Structure 1
Amino acid sequence: MFKLWATIIKDFRVLRRDGIGLALMFVMPVILVFVVTDIQESTFQMINKNKLPVLIINRDTGESGTQLIESINKIGLFKVYQLPKNQDTKFVSDSMKQRDVLVAVTIPDDFTRKVKAKAKNVAGKALVSFGLQADSVQKDPGEIDPLTLYYNPILQEQLRLSVQGGLRSALQLVESRETLRSLYFSINEKQLPTNLENEMLNNKASINEIPVSKNGSLRTPNAAQHNVPSWTIFAMFFVIMSLGGSVVKEKTNGSFVRLKTLPTNYAVGLLSKQITYVTVTVLQAAVIFSLGIFVFPLVGLPPLNVPIDVFGLLIVTIICGWCAVSYAICVGVFSKTQEQSNGFGAISIVILAAIGGLMVPSFAMDTSLKTVADFSPMHWCLQAYYGLFLEGGKLTDVMNYLVPLVLITLVLQFITFLGLKRKNLI
């Protein structure tokens, strides 16, 4: 026990002198958590609370074009700016750049005429089906000329699809209003009352959103719940920059050989490194979680909600840290130089994070990548954390994620042992 304690103290002293490694393990993930959470929260705010600026060129002279603009305003997603109607594409492009606007819409000049003709045609067909007015069916006027949507190429596809969905909703509202008016006039030979029109168009069922959780709580997830666990895992695995290099350094400077001449076993040194760096990963998690809980609300970010099972959170953190440390030692054992360890370690961590769901949600991946994700330890780490933070589960609820993670860790430990034996280091 004394040998192990002395070795742990030695490893902590070595780690304390590694300023770059400490910065990568603590400073870098803290910055990442702040930046990524702030960006994601800003995106949510832009979609849900702030409005997306949109330029509209209304070349239509009828009422349908005006109604379409009003409908776009009522959606709540857009802040509308109107431009003069007699402008070309270059003027629209220049206006978007000058006003820093990502989206512009052009309403065609015969929009009202086509909408009314289409509405009368649809109303006539409806009346025929009712057996009320067989001679009301007019010649099909053809499709309504499409709106023209200009967008900046930097606009992400997901947000662009949201914009298209909003425009389609506004367009459908205009068409439905005109069809209702036409039907009402054909049957009653008078205009549809405004209050009845609004009642018919606004008669929509509401949507009640309830997040599914293990314990039945209704805690709504936020950007912090998603990002803090993700980048905590990323920080844990980045101990490879310090630990992997330390293992390589001990191999190249003869520390392994000297240990073999002493009345001890290298297993003591290996266990010491694992205890030391698992402690570091737990400290990383404590620092990042504390920032999410106490600092995020002070800077306007959503606070991190602590899981109900704090003991389960500690166990998950220790197992995740143990897996990260095992991976770092394994890479260090098989690397010949510190440059190899650092280069391969950094690149492999980014790849494992990408396929593990830290950068792109796993549900958005295709089937082949989902299969590959099962081999990434970060995937199981993330699922375990999400089970606690987002689903409100307990330790027993995330055991199905921890078992594969422990198996991966044991495989890494076994590969490390084979590498040490092959190199005659133990």
Structure 2
Amino acid sequence: MFRLWSTIIKDLRILTRDKVGLTLMFLMPVVLTIVITSVQNGTFEMVNNNKVAIILDNRDADTSASASRELVKTIEDAGMFTIAERGPYKNEQEVRDQMYKKEILVAVVIPPTYSRDVMARAQSVARKALKDISGENNTASGEGDSLAPLQLLYHPTLQLSFRRSIEGALGSVLQVVQSKYIVKSLYKAINEENIPDSVESQIVGQQTEIIPVAVSRDGNRGNPNATQHNIPAWTVFAMFFIVISLGSSIVREKRSGSFLRLRTLPTHFGVAMVSKQITYILITLLQAVVIFGLGIFLFPHIGLPALILPGDITALVLVTLLCGWCATSFAICVGVYANTQEQANGFGAVSIVLLAAIGGLLVPSFAMPEGFRYIMKLSPLHWCMEAYYGLFLEGGKLGDILMNIIPLLVITLAFQVVAWWGLKRKRLV
């Protein structure tokens, strides 16, 4: 026990001299966590809370008609848009210039024949419906079957997913306006009088309410925010970046002959390896404490959502220990096979970024191509993330994340075996 303790003290002293390694292990993930969480939180707020500023160019030639005015009102009432600029503009180029001048990402152009087309479409549908009811042959012409499309101008930097959301919202708005005029035409054709406002609101205005609820295992999780996503992700990233320090340390000891000298001493080589693992697992635990503390205490003071810890703290500690052990095992494996510190640092840094990318840390797993979803399961960072997300986002307990812990444990043991085989192959043990 004394030998193990002495070796741990030695490894801690070596670690404290590695200023660059300590910076990468603590300062880098802290900066990444704050910056990326702030950026993503701004995106979440823009999508969930803020309205999209648009330019509305109403070119409807029939200014006395109410269809285009009804469309503008419905767009304003939709809750997603705010009309920052209104037309009419002379041409499309003037709209484009205004978008760049005002830094507005979206513009909607209402065609000149919009009101006329909507009215014709409503009357055509009403005639067809009445003929079907009366049993007459449907000999109506195709007049009113087509509508001139609205033009949606968007800035090239607007992401496809966000543009699809805007298109869907505008499609719903158009459907509401067209349905309203169809109902009016049908009512007037049947009753030979205009539809009362009370009846119109009952038919068109009353829609089924949608209540979004985040599904969690404990039933106590609210809607996930940027903090709940990013704190676990960058904690795992920080843990695995100990490969820079630990990998270089093992290479230095190999090149200096420390491993060979250990064979001449009355101690087992395994003591040195266990010492390094204990030392760096403690470092990973400290990293987790620092980043979690950042989310709990600092984030509320800088306008970010506070981190909510899982209900099962025992499971959280166990997952953190396993993630730290896996990161340490990977770093030892890299250090054993690298011949120089440059190789350990270069391969270690690049491999962690690649494993993070295919593991779902940089890109969500559901957004990956089908083929990558199988490769993703080979990344230890994927299983670390899934275990953390099962606790932080789903509100699960230890039993709920066992299927994520078991693959992580298998990968960790594989790293241990590969590292030990490398030491034997190089005759260092």
State the TM-score bracket (shorter-chain normalisation).
Answer: over 0.9
Q: Which runs of 5+ in 2 are unaligned?
A: none
**Contact 2:281/2:321, CA 8 A, preserved across alignment:** yes
User: Where do residues 133-148 of structure 1 align in structure 2 (5 Å cutoff)?
Assistant: 137-148=140-151
**Contact 2:128/2:138, CA 8 A, preserved across alignment:** no
Question: Cα offset for 1:387?
Answer: 1.1
Q: Which of 387, 393, 396 pairs up with 1:384?
A: 387
Instruction: List, as ranges, runs of 4+ consecutive aligned residues in structure 1 with deviation greater than 6 Å.
Output: 132-136
Question: Cα offset for 1:393?
Answer: 1.3
Question: Cα offset for 1:83?
Answer: 3.5
Q: Which residue of 1 aligns with 2:250?
A: 247
Q: Which runs of 5+ in 1 are unaligned?
A: none
Q: Which residue of 1 aligns with 2:79?
A: 76
**Contact 1:248/1:335, CA 8 A, preserved across alignment:** yes
Q: Which residue of 1 aligns with 2:108?
A: 105
Question: Cα offset for 1:270?
Answer: 1.0
**Greater displacement, 120-129 / 304-313:** 120-129
**Contact 2:221/2:393, CA 8 A, preserved across alignment:** no
Question: Cα offset for 1:351?
Answer: 1.1
**Contact 2:221/2:394, CA 8 A, preserved across alignment:** no
Q: Which of 213, 217, 220 pairs up with 2:220?
A: 217
Amino acid paired to 2:37: T
Within 1, Cα distance between the matches of 2:265 and 2:110? Answer: 84
Q: Which residue of 1 aligns with 2:22?
A: 22
Q: Which of 352, 357, 360 pairs up with 2:355?
A: 352
Within 2, Cα distance between the matches of 1:205 and 1:86? Answer: 38
Q: Which of 320, 324, 327 pairs up with 1:321?
A: 324
Q: Which of 187, 197, 201 pairs up with 1:198?
A: 201
Question: Cα offset for 1:132?
Answer: 7.5
Deviations 1:379-417 (A, max 9, x none): 111111111111111112211111110000000000001
For the pair 1:52 / 2:52, whether they are aligned, the reply is: yes
Deviations 1:309-353 (A, max 9, x none): 111100100000000110011011111111111111111111111
Within 2, Cα distance between the matches of 1:194 and 1:239? Answer: 68
Amino acid paired to 1:344: F
User: Where do residues 95-244 of structure 1 align in structure 2 (5 Å cutoff)?
Assistant: 95-131=98-134, 137-244=140-247
Amino acid paired to 2:203: M
Amino acid paired to 2:272: G
Q: Identity percentage over the alignment?
A: 50
Within 2, Cα distance between the matches of 1:162 and 1:220? Answer: 19
Tell me how large the CA RMSD over aligned residues is: 1.6
Amino acid paired to 2:384: C
Within 1, Cα distance between the matches of 2:135 and 2:193? Answer: 17
Question: Cα offset for 1:201?
Answer: 1.6
Q: Which residue of 2 aligns with 1:263?
A: 266
Question: Cα offset for 1:134?
Answer: 6.6
Question: Cα offset for 1:139?
Answer: 3.7
Within 2, Cα distance between the matches of 1:414 and 1:135? Answer: 78
Deviations 1:157-191 (A, max 9, x none): 11111111111111111111111111111111111
Q: Which of 410, 414, 418 pairs up with 1:411?
A: 414
Q: Which residue of 2 aligns with 1:33?
A: 33
Partner of 1:85: helix, strand, or coil?
Answer: coil
**Contact 1:124/1:138, CA 8 A, preserved across alignment:** no
Q: Which residue of 1 aligns with 2:8?
A: 8
**Contact 1:106/1:147, CA 8 A, preserved across alignment:** yes
Partner of 1:374: helix, strand, or coil?
Answer: helix
For the pair 1:284 / 2:290, whether they are aligned, the reply is: no
Within 2, Cα distance between the matches of 1:389 and 1:326? Answer: 25
Within 1, Cα distance between the matches of 2:366 and 2:267? Answer: 49
Within 2, Cα distance between the matches of 1:129 and 1:298? Answer: 65
Partner of 2:378: helix, strand, or coil?
Answer: coil
Within 1, Cα distance between the matches of 2:100 and 2:220? Answer: 46
Partner of 2:152: helix, strand, or coil?
Answer: strand
Question: Cα offset for 1:226?
Answer: 1.2
**Contact 2:333/2:419, CA 8 A, preserved across alignment:** yes
For the pair 1:334 / 2:298, whether they are aligned, the reply is: no
Deviations 1:174-215 (A, max 9, x none): 111111111111111111222322222221111233322223
**Contact 1:128/1:137, CA 8 A, preserved across alignment:** no
Within 2, Cα distance between the matches of 1:286 and 1:74? Answer: 46
Partner of 2:53: helix, strand, or coil?
Answer: strand
**Contact 2:243/2:331, CA 8 A, preserved across alignment:** yes
Deviations 1:128-171 (A, max 9, x none): 22228778945433421111111111111111111111111111
Partner of 1:150: helix, strand, or coil?
Answer: strand
Within 2, Cα distance between the matches of 1:249 and 1:201? Answer: 75
Rate the CA distance shift 1:135–1:330 in 2: closer, same or farther, 3 A: closer
Q: Which residue of 1 aligns with 2:365?
A: 362
**Contact 1:29/1:235, CA 8 A, preserved across alignment:** yes
Rate the CA distance shift 1:137–1:185 in 2: closer, same or farther, 3 A: farther
**Greater displacement, 276-285 / 89-98:** 89-98
Q: Which of 294, 302, 318 pairs up with 2:305?
A: 302
Partner of 2:259: helix, strand, or coil?
Answer: helix
Within 2, Cα distance between the matches of 1:249 and 1:68? Answer: 71
Q: What TM-score do you get using the length of structure 2 for normalisation?
A: 0.96
Pairs aligned (count): 426
Within 2, Cα distance between the matches of 1:187 and 1:333? Answer: 86
Partner of 2:50: helix, strand, or coil?
Answer: coil
Partner of 1:56: helix, strand, or coil?
Answer: strand
**Contact 1:225/1:390, CA 8 A, preserved across alignment:** yes
Partner of 1:378: helix, strand, or coil?
Answer: helix
